[in-house]
Amino acid sequence: MKLNILTIIAVLFFAVSCDNASNPHKGDKNQMQGKADTTVHYKQEKHLANIKQLTAGGDNAEAYFSFNDKMITFQAKNPDWNAPCDQIYTFSFADGDMLEKRPQIISEGLGRTTCSFFMPGDTSILYASTRSGGDACPPDPERRDDGKYVWPIYPDFDIYVANLKGEVIDTIVSGPGYDAEATVSRQGDKIVFTSDRSGDLELYVCDIDGSNQVQITHELGYDGGAFFSPDGKQLIFRSSRPKTEAEIKEYQDLLQEGLVKPTNMELYICNVDGSELRQLTKLGKANWAPYFHPSGEKVIFSSNHNSKRGFEFNLFMINVDGSGLEQITYDHIFDAFPMFSNDGKKLIFSSNRNNGGTKNTNLFIADWVE
């Protein structure tokens, strides 16, 4: 489940155009001349080299490498691809360039989808879909009178496995309520996902075939977007944990409406069985989309904690003991969904950079420089 970047930018466009005081790129030649920013690589981004844009148009996000690093799977909302809501795609780097060739659709254009991930062997892809509730895209939440930005928790989300032709070959997790946000361990033996079957949004771990589903988080609040450590022994995830009476009431009231507010999230680490749970970040605002560095000793994630206006998301790195916070990207709108290749040589992420002043969120890949 991802932030609706198009909605955020539409709501805040006026603020973007009228307030440049906290923009780290104030004084950029294109901006001073009133032109759209066309930057692909900012000079401060010392950990990234040879950045390449992979898509051009629509809302592209959550791109993840195959086990052999030769393919990616991702979700996209793109009218030009006949995808009015998020659909799952895959692309092989050997096939050339997505700027010239449309990727293979996996989700068949049915329902709304999210969070795809390769299964062991790289011949099938795991993803969540609302297809059991109908072929059409479910409606987006209406704009709220109280102005709260919310994510929908569609109860029709179940977790499927499809082959690379897009044919569904298995249903891993199904049943009443929300089941989504699934990822796979690098060892290929476990899956972690988020479900509201307990009445709250909690993390569950199961075997690779969907058996032995075990709840591993138990505290009130939204726990989601989990990823395994490289050795498969730990999980990193985002969480909104309401504490005050007012926060708890707001969280529970929204959940009853099938909604969750993602504007205050921190990162947590625990063992795969849920033990030794600890909070990693205490930065404030929204810290999310975490992924372990190949060493297992650091975590890369997206955050707006140092943004004065709330919508500037950049990538940051932090040690697993909470020390050594370092900014990785310096875009002035949005960078998120980072994932390292399995060999640790590449980083793929989503960004609003170089979109010609549109609202498009595209995929970028870079060489990782330690």
Using one digit for the tens of pLDDT, what is the confidence trace for 288-335?
A: 999 999 999 999 999 999 988 777 999 999 999 999 999 999 999 999
Specify the pLDDT at position 9. Answer: 41
Sequential DSSP letters for 239-258: EE---SHHHHHHHHHHHHTT
pTM of the model: 0.91
Residue with the bigger pLDDT between 102 and 35: it is: 102
Specify the pLDDT at position 37. Answer: 66
Task: Give residue 111's Cα distance to chain centre.
Answer: 19
Give the model confidence (pLDDT) of 161-174 as tens digits. 999 999 999 999 99
Alpha-carbon distance 288 to 128, whole Å?
19
Specify the pLDDT at position 336. Answer: 98
Q: Any idea which fold 5-12+28-368 has?
A: Neuraminidase (2.120.10)
Domain extents in the chain: 5-12+28-368
* Six token digits for residue 49: 């080299």
Which letter, b or e, does each residue of 239-253 get, where b requires 16 or more Cβ atoms within 10 Å of its Cβ?
bbbbeeeebeeebee
Three-class SS state of 360: coil
Query: What is the rounded average pLDDT for all residues in the chain?
Result: 91
Residue with the bigger pLDDT between 73 and 21: it is: 73
